[in-house]
Amino acid sequence: MVISPSHINSKSNHDVVNINTANKINVKRFPQIGQIQIYQSSYRGSYPSIIRDSLRNAALGRKVLLVQFMKGGVKQGVDNAVKLCGNLTWVRSSHSFDQYNSEEIEKDKNLKKSIHESTFELWNFCKKELQSGDNDQIILDEIFLAIEKNIIHKDDLISTLENRFISGDVILTGTDIPKDLLLMANQITELRS
């Protein structure tokens, strides 16, 4: 952080705290930014090591949010998150893609709408959490499949990641990862069978 008289710095320099002679302080909140890690695999269901690591991190005292976009089940969703180890919040979709086969979803417009709304509700929850600074680690499991299914827009994810406020890492998993998201990553891990 740099402290200097306001007449020295231009008004467009947002990375500076200006203190003028009238003792007024203009402070900009500096984001705490951890790394973006991407785990890529050629097949779904290859991320148990990430879930294991999230449990270990929670047991060690880190506050972890694990969100599974395409998995769900009975009494799931944002309002029914599972709490483990006192520090891990595990959230799944209340009406998920994995509960049905693809043909069934495509044939039933109400079912498809319900799945999209449930997944988008999770995404809105994640956006708030990425901005809150309350978590040490956030895992967005299979978010790239939600993008592929046109539930979440890629540009919305990019913008949210660019403006996040989290001191720890954000972990993204999926199979088909857009190139511009790969370019944002600090670490890319390819999981093989």
CATH at 72: 3.40.50.300
Rounded mean pLDDT for each run of 10 residues along the chain, 193 residues in total = 35 44 51 80 73 90 92 77 89 77 82 86 94 92 90 94 87 89 90 74
Q: What pTM was estimated for this model as a whole?
A: 0.76
Domain co-membership, 82 together with 116: yes
User: What's the confidence (pLDDT) of residue 23?
Assistant: 52
> Could you tell me which of 121, 126, 155 has the C-alpha nearest to residue 141?
126
**Which tokens go with 142?**
């299979």
Q: What is the pLDDT of residues 45-57, one digit of tens each?
A: 666 788 888 889 9
Residue 8, domain extent: 1-30
Residue 191 backbone phi and psi in degrees, to 5:
-95, 130
- Could you give the number of structural domains in the chain? 2
Tell me the C-alpha distance between 177 and 145, whole Å. 9
User: What's the confidence (pLDDT) of residue 25?
Assistant: 53
Domain co-membership, 17 together with 62: no
Domain co-membership, 35 together with 3: no
Question: Terminal CA-to-CA distance of the chain, rounded, Å?
Answer: 46
Tell me the C-alpha distance between 66 and 141, whole Å. 7
User: What's the confidence (pLDDT) of residue 73?
Assistant: 65
User: What's the confidence (pLDDT) of residue 32?
Assistant: 52
User: What's the confidence (pLDDT) of residue 186?
Assistant: 92
User: What's the confidence (pLDDT) of residue 47?
Assistant: 67
Domain co-membership, 70 together with 153: yes
Domain co-membership, 35 together with 24: no
